[in-house]
Amino acid sequence: MRAHHVRALLMAGQAWEFYGAAELSRDTDFAILTDADNLSRLRKALAELRVEPIAVPLFELKFLKRGHAIHFRCQHPEAPRMRVNVMSKMRAVDSFAKLWKRRTTIELPNGTRCDLLSGPDLVQAKSTQRDKEWPMMRRLKEADYFQDNTKPGATRIKCWLTELRTPQRLFEDARTHPGLASRPASKRPTLTRAAAGQLSQLGHTLSAEESRLRAEGKASWSPLFKELERLGRKK
């Protein structure tokens, strides 16, 4: 991707691993910019990887714009059977331009630089109904909290107040920053209990919140699942 200057951001399992909150992932998932030049560069990168398309949908702009992921399997000898998935549109996630501006860049020991979705954007991108995603989201936000809770900025604190999903951490953050907690509480009622110090009831409230978000995710994905079923039958 870097060799062909593809504007892409690592996401999903391998990005979670960089942030210290994930299980092993054998797939490589990217959020991509879908302008003509970038798609052309992406096609060249995929050609070098000797990819074969997997399942449906086809690698077409109309499917990317509707929110589908396009799946490929690499046949290159240095990446045999590696799966590559690309997306451009995700529910409740900002445009690629904003994601790119907020990206996290990590350099590996061999000098390779990796561009990732930022931690908050990664959590937002993974807010689905899939069971396995939720423990990772909780771990990611906890890792972020403990990594930078000495002198965090207002933006970081607001992100924690919006996304933390463990009772003790949310309670601590709301108690430490009551002024910043008051505003997002109108959109996240869970914060009201956290700010009031109702720690014993906070776990039940967070569970109810998670159930609601899962249901919303399922509703948003339902039309895409139905379209995939139609495409699969047609194929």
Question: pLDDT tens digits for the chain (235 residues)?
Answer: 999 999 999 988 788 788 776 666 778 999 999 999 999 999 999 999 999 989 889 898 999 988 899 999 999 999 999 999 999 988 778 899 999 999 999 998 999 899 999 887 887 776 554 556 667 667 766 776 676 666 777 777 777 777 777 888 888 887 787 777 766 666 777 777 777 777 777 778 888 877 777 777 777 777 888 888 888 888 8
Instruction: Kindly state whether residues 43 and 17 are assigned to the same domain.
Output: yes
Which of residues 59, 84, 118 is at a domain's end?
A: 118
Instruction: Kindly state whether residues 153 and 106 are assigned to the same domain.
Output: no
Instruction: Kindly state whether residues 151 and 114 are assigned to the same domain.
Output: no
Domain harbouring 84, CATH code = 3.10.450
Query: Domain for residue 127, yes or no?
Result: no
Query: Domain for residue 194, yes or no?
Result: yes
pTM score, whole prediction: 0.70
Domain limits for position 158: 133-220
Which of residues 85, 118, 151 is at a domain's end?
A: 118
Instruction: Kindly state whether residues 50 and 101 are assigned to the same domain.
Output: yes
Query: Domain for residue 214, yes or no?
Result: yes
Instruction: Kindly state whether residues 88 and 161 are assigned to the same domain.
Output: no
Which pLDDT score, from 0 to 100, does residue 83 have? 93
Which pLDDT score, from 0 to 100, does residue 132 have? 61
Query: Domain for residue 228, yes or no?
Result: no
Which pLDDT score, from 0 to 100, does residue 193 have? 75
Query: Domain for residue 123, yes or no?
Result: no
Which pLDDT score, from 0 to 100, does residue 97 have? 92
Instruction: Kindly state whether residues 111 and 153 are assigned to the same domain.
Output: no
Instruction: Kindly state whether residues 14 and 46 are assigned to the same domain.
Output: yes
**Structural domain count of the chain:** 2
Instruction: Kindly state whether residues 12 and 102 are assigned to the same domain.
Output: yes
DSSP secondary structure of 90-147? -TT---HHHHHHT-EEEE-TTS-EEEE--HHHHHHHT-SS-TTHHHHHHHHHHHHHHH
Instruction: Let me know: does 124 contact 89? Beta carbons within 8 Å.
Output: no
Sign, CA dihedral 6-4-16-215, equals positive
Structure-token match 């108690």, residue found: 175
Instruction: Let me know: does 137 contact 209? Beta carbons within 8 Å.
Output: no
Single-letter amino acid code for the residue at 197: G
User: d(Cα 29, Cα 47) in Å, to the nearest integer?
Assistant: 17
Instruction: Kindly state whether residues 58 and 18 are assigned to the same domain.
Output: yes
Which pLDDT score, from 0 to 100, does residue 129 have? 47
Which pLDDT score, from 0 to 100, does residue 75 have? 94
Which of residues 118, 147, 164 is at a domain's end?
A: 118
β-sheet bridge partners, residue 87: 31
Provide the token pair at 10: 């690592």
Instruction: Kindly state whether residues 17 and 105 are assigned to the same domain.
Output: yes
